Every structure is written in C-alpha cells, then in structure tokens.
C-alpha cells in the first residue's frame, strides 16, 4: 500500500514543476477570449513502436492539481501501440493547457525508461529469470522519484534511492580509508547487521577481500566479460559464492548484456536506463 507521504511528495514535486513552467502565468492562453471555456482533450501515443506506458498516476494527479478531471484508458506497465488513446481530460482551456507540457514530458520520459528497462529484463530472463535488472543513482536532480518508478514499472528494481538506503563502498571511499578489509568491519560495527553493505571492487583480489570481510553484495565495476568470468570462478573455487550477491555494472548495453547474463550474476545494474533512455512520443489534442 502506498504511504500517504508518497502522495504528498508527488504532489509537492508536481506543484514545483508547475511553478517552474508557468511562472507568473500563461500569457498566451490567459489572453484568449475563450480561455475559460470547458473543453475535452485526449492524449495519444505517437511513437511508431510498441512501448510500455508509465506516468499515468502522475499525470492524473497533475491534472487534478490544475482543476481538471481525467479518465485513463491505460494503466502503468501496459503495452501500447502507435495511435493508442492513453487518456481523456476535461476542464477549462486555461487549466488544461497549463498542465499539458509537464504531463507529456513526464509520460515521454517515464514511458521511455519503462520501455527500455523491459527490453533488458526480457533479454536476461531468457537466460536466467533470477537475474535482476537494476537502475543506478544516475538520475536528473528532481526526477529520481519518477525515473526510479519507471524502472520498477519496466520490471527492474530501483537499487539505492538515496545515500541512506544502504552502504555502498566505492573506489573513492577506498582511496580515503585504504583497506577493504578494514573499512567493511569498521562500518559494520557502526551500523549493525540490519543494513546491507555493498562494495565496489576492481579485481578478483578485492572481490575476495570484500566477501571475506562481510560484504553482502559485491559490485564488479567495469569488468570485461573475461575478467568477470575469471573473478566469479575464483569466488566459487574458494567456496564463497553463496555468501554474497554479485552485481555487474559499467558499460552494459544491448550488445554485451547477453554475455554478462550468461555469467549468472544476481544483479546487472545499468545507468543507461535513467540517463540515456530515449523518450517515447505523446501528444495532447483538444477535441472541443
């Protein structure tokens, strides 16, 4: 069940987006003779592809903030085809057009992320349905709530939402405190056992150090397929594979993901999902 605070945070973000876009007012629409005329409109999917729609709830809340009512014809996560009717909206021209661009921007971005995530998920699940596709924190400031939700709608997991979700020991932390074998027990002693510790490693020696020091997850970061395979074999040879989850990250794309998935990691994290997924195209048309 959604927390009440989640709804408040969503409304707060959407109001901020409106304030950013509207400024002191929509001087075009407000100066039309019939700006207060009641109209209806529909949102149409324009891209010439099969996509995964995402952002329906957000767009409905946005139109509600702008005193419009909406009737969706799709739910988040559904497949959409070109020219699909996504939603109908009713309100004054002034209110409806105030929300138009933000609504379309959110649908475009979130549906693009959900669609690309689903493609990666479908590929790896043909190899091993237990492999999880995860996003990263490579999101545009202010959009993480929307980007991460889109990944989940696409069948992935959000991974860390914020820095306080779990411990993630990265290369710069190791530079500061030098030793993986010292850092992990130090942090574990301070945070207790309920919070997971993940450690980014750059070779098989660091991977073994991290596992033996008590990491819950190790990230093979920017490993070639050959290096990742070698590291996983060494971990298995030492009888450590069942003690830890293995995450592979860095440079994952459609050309190489099959070979990485064949190594049977637990998680494959992909920054591309949120920083480079192509948006899908939607348009809003006033009917009358």
190 a catalytic residue: no
Cα(240)–Cα(208) distance, rounded to whole angstroms?
A: 8
- In the block, tokens 């019939």 appear at 34
Catalytic residue among 138, 230, 234, 245: 138
Quote the distance between the C-alpha of residue 57 and its chain's center. 16
SS3 48: coil
Task: Quote the CA–CA distance of 254 and 240 in Å, as a whole number.
Answer: 30
- DSSP output for 86-136: EEEEEEEHHHHHHHHHHHHHHHHHHHHHHHHHHHHHHHHHHH-TT-EEE--
Tokens of 179: 């030793």
> What residues have CB less than 8 Å from 265, skipping those under 6 apart?
131, 220, 228, 232, 246, 247, 248
* Positions marked catalytic: 138
């Amino acid at each position: 069940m959604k927390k009440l605070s989640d709804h408040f945070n969503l409304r707060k973000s959407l109001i901020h987006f409106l304030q950013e876009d509207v400024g002191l007012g929509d001087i075009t629409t407000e100066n039309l003779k019939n700006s207060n005329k009641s109209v209806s409109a529909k949102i149409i999917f324009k891209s010439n592809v099969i996509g995964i729609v995402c952002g329906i709830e957000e767009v409905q809340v946005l139109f509600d903030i702008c005193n419009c009512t909406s009737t969706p014809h799709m739910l988040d996560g559904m497949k959409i085809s070109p020219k699909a009717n996504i939603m109908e909206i009713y309100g004054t021209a002034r209110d409806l057009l105030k929300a138009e661009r933000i609504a379309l921007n959110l649908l475009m971005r979130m549906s693009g992320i959900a669609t690309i995530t689903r493609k990666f998920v479908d590929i790896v699940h043909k190899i091993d349905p237990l492999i999880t596709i995860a996003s990263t924190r490579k999101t545009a400031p202010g959009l993480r709530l929307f980007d991460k939700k889109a990944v989940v709608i696409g069948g992935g997991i959000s991974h860390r939402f914020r820095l306080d979700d779990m411990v993630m020991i990265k290369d710069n932390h190791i530079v500061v405190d030098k030793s993986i074998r010292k850092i992990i027990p130090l942090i574990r002693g301070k945070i207790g056992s309920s919070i997971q510790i993940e450690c980014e490693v750059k070779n098989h020696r660091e991977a073994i150090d991290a596992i033996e020091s008590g990491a819950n997850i190790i990230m093979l970061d920017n490993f070639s397929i050959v290096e990742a395979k070698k590291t996983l074999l060494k971990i298995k040879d030492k009888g450590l594979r069942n003690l830890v989850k293995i995450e592979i990250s860095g440079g994952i794309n459609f050309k190489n993901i099959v070979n990485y998935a064949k190594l049977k990691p637990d998680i494959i994290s992909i920054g591309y999902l949120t920083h480079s997924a192509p948006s899908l195209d939607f348009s809003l048309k006033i009917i009358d």
